[in-house]
Amino acid sequence: RAEQATAQAEAPSLGRRLQPRPPPPEPSLAPELAAPQPPGRQAAMAGEAAAPEAWEIILFYKYADLSEGGAKDEVKAALEGAFAEAAKPLCGRILLAEEGVNGNLAAAAGPAMADLVAALLRLPHLGLRREDIKFAAAKDAEAPFPDLRIREVKSLIAGGAELDAIPIAETSQGYLKPKDWLAAAKEKNSVMIDVRNAREVAIGHFEGALDPKTRHFSEFTRWLDRDETRQQLEGKRVLMYCTGGVRCEKASALLRRRGVAASVEHLQGGIHRFQEALGDAEGFWKGKMFVFDRRGAMAPRDFQHGGEGEPSAGAKPDAIAGAPAAAAEAVGRCIGCGATHDVFTPDAVCVVCREPCLVCAACRARLKGEYHCEFHEHLKGCYFANLAAFDAAALAAQRADLAALIDAIHRGRHLRNRRRTLARQIARVD
């Protein structure tokens, strides 16, 4: 995980010898989707039944007040009942909070998925509608998620104190359907903001959108409050977008609070709905859409065409009307050589923060696991995973460089996690 994970661990004083700690385990492309499975969490896993001929995946969220009268517990019980009765295999993730629900589920295409959707529409307190559900297809037999789980959380999208505290009443505003959003994006006074994280933006984005260069949604507020950002947004018509819309609900509300922009709107249904309706909009969209499951990404031709702003009735690969047969243009770049590359692989993660990196096959063979993401490129010469490859003189040089970096950032609470990360690497070197 990224550096912020180190904030949850104790950092010994730099003045005494630090104890070495083993490198963290290899994560999947989306670590939050592949945590170890506690006992009792496997009751409805994909492995309980034979893999279907075709998986269908649904994405949905709904903000609703579940804070009173045991409403959240009732929704959880209803979900557990629906999953117990659903046809297997079934897998996915549900985040449940007092502010609503956010989910991704996968089941066999056809009647099994239709029955599951019907059960979701009957969930109490949420008012979930069919148009709130987005459909997609997986092209291979492997389960898109490792298991099925319901996770209770404080916020549907962890964004830090201020974003998490935004009430439901300030969400569900400023929606634009795909065609209207596209027209607005082409206006002279409009500014687009990609609310997703850097690794998502790297493989696909709308041309000309601002990229906040965040690793986590919790970093968005800090980017928004920079003087440079304020200057870019002042007096502008701001148009936000994300994968399915849930992050934009809070991000757009936060910007409205700042009072900097002339207006703040966001793409209803996110990139997913846009590409259902308009594909790549004649090149306005570049690349692929990052997804948080084993598919990794979706190209414009992978979406089910549902018309202007209309929900898809189901998912069929290569089904967009008029979509080209050729693969989407790759916009990602290998961190090693700069060649065009847009496929994340589980073995290619930053040695510092475990952030997924784009690394082509040739560079994976050449770099042998020593990858540094764009946020830690400056550590290429002194921060390595395999210390056994270096002699004593090289290790001493690395230690000196790491110590110098700590000295350069020895003050500032906001730099505490960076100091801890460097200190732990010194401990490994020692």
Which residues are annotated as catalytic? Answer: 242
Residue among 85, 94, 93 nearest 126 (CA): 94
Structure tokens at 403: 């110590």
d(CA 116, CA 112): 6
d(CA 33, CA 254): 27
d(CA 237, CA 230): 13
Whether omega before 311 lies within 30 degrees of 0, making that bond cis, reads no
Structure tokens at 340: 């065009």
What single letter denotes the amino acid at residue 374?
E
Written in H, E and C, the secondary structure of 141-181 is CCCCCCCEEEEECCCCCCCCHHHHCCCHHHCCCCEECHHHH
Residue among 328, 382, 312, 341 nearest 134 (CA): 312
d(CA 412, CA 105): 42
Length of the chain, in residues:
430
Residue among 134, 283, 308, 322 nearest 205 (CA): 283
Which is it for the CA torsion 343, 31, 363, 359, positive or negative?
positive
Tell me whether residue 348 is exposed, middle or buried, using C-beta atoms within 10 angstroms of its C-beta: 0 to 12, 13 to 18, 19 or more: buried
